[in-house]
Amino acid sequence: MEKIRSIAVTGKGGTGKTVVSTLLIRLLSERFPGRVLAIDADSAMSLCYTTGLKVDKTVSQLRSELLGMRQVREELNNGPTKDLMRSILAHGKGFDLLTMGRPEEPGCFCACNELLRYGIDTLAGDYDYVVIDGEAGPEQLNRRVMKSVDCLLVMADMSARSLQTAAGIIAVAKAGENNIDVKATGLVLNRVRNDQPKEELLKKVGLEVFGELPEDAEVNKFDREDRTLFDLPMDSACPQAVLAILKKLIPEF
């Protein structure tokens, strides 16, 4: 496998993208402090809660602000600067976080995604690892927000629908249309229970499993108590499962 530097997590809504992204960010930044860039590419904004960071400004807010100022509007038209992008990063323990946020006006999703893509492209080179918590479905692949990630982890639970969505996303990534250049794609099953027959379901959609997470009562508890997943005991089931995935992706981990 080629060296993995950037990992995007995608899949159907509610399948565990944010849980997996957060644990990837946590494990990578514990091991490689200061060398990890986290991207919250979901307009619903979750990483600020699961990592416990305060986000002062999102990419979407930056965009609206720039559009309101003539001088900076020109700057935006001429290509926004890296400094502007850097100025809105939130700083965590061992990682920085760029948050897309919700578009302020209706119908400007594309523009926000485009600015986010610029942010990712321009900042990624300053870090060794990039983790993207994506929006549900294949849209951000089509919008090329995730166009050149090294590894796309596609989440699914044991429902036929989420596996079909996963199969669709994997097909888009593998087709490589629209300048999408994803090097490796892996299906990650979440909330796996041993009493459910999964082989038959997987065979139906023609997918192989790259990683698995069990149902984890600790994750549920932290969620209810609105606590950051950075405080989740490392020996609980989900952190251990994500560690196993990282070891497969990054041999030196």
Ligand X SMILES: Nc1ncnc2c1ncn2[C@@H]1O[C@H](COP(=O)(O)OP(=O)(O)OP(=O)(O)O)[C@@H](O)[C@H]1O
Q: Does 10 interact with ligand X (rule: CB under 6 A)?
A: no
Q: How many residues bind ligand X (CB under 6 A)?
A: 20
Q: Does 125 interact with ligand X (rule: CB under 6 A)?
A: no
Judged by CB, which is closer to Mg ion: 131, or 202? 131
| Among ligand X, Mg ion, none, partner that 215 touches (CB below 5 to 8 angstroms by kind) | ligand X
Distance in Å, CB of 177 to Mg ion, minimum: 26
Q: Within positions 35 to 64, which residues make up the interface with Mg ion, using CB under 5 A?
A: 46
What is the SS3 assignment for the chain?
CCCCCEEEEEECCCCCHHHHHHHHHHHHHHHCCCCEEEEECCCCCCHHHHHCCCCCCCHHHHHHHHHCCHHHHHHHHCCCCHHHHHHCCEECCCEEEEECCCCCCCCCHHHHHHHHHHHHHHHHCCCCEEEEECCCCCHHHHCCCCCCCCEEEEEECCCHHHHHHHHHHHHHHHHCCCCCCCCEEEEEEEEECCCCCCHHHHHHHCCCEEEEEECCHHHHHHHHCCCCHHHCCCCCHHHHHHHHHHHHHCCCC
Distance in Å, CB of 80 to ligand X, minimum: 26
Among 57, 82, 191, 227, binds ligand X (CB under 6 A): 191
Q: Residues 11-50 vs ligand X: string with x where CB under 6 A?
A: --xxxxxxx----------------------x-x-x----
Q: Does 18 interact with Mg ion (rule: CB under 5 A)?
A: yes
Q: Does 196 interact with ligand X (rule: CB under 6 A)?
A: no
Distance in Å, CB of 120 to ligand X, minimum: 18
**Residue nearest Mg ion, CB atom distance:** 18
**Can you give the binding site for Mg ion, defined by CB under 5 A?**
17-18, 46
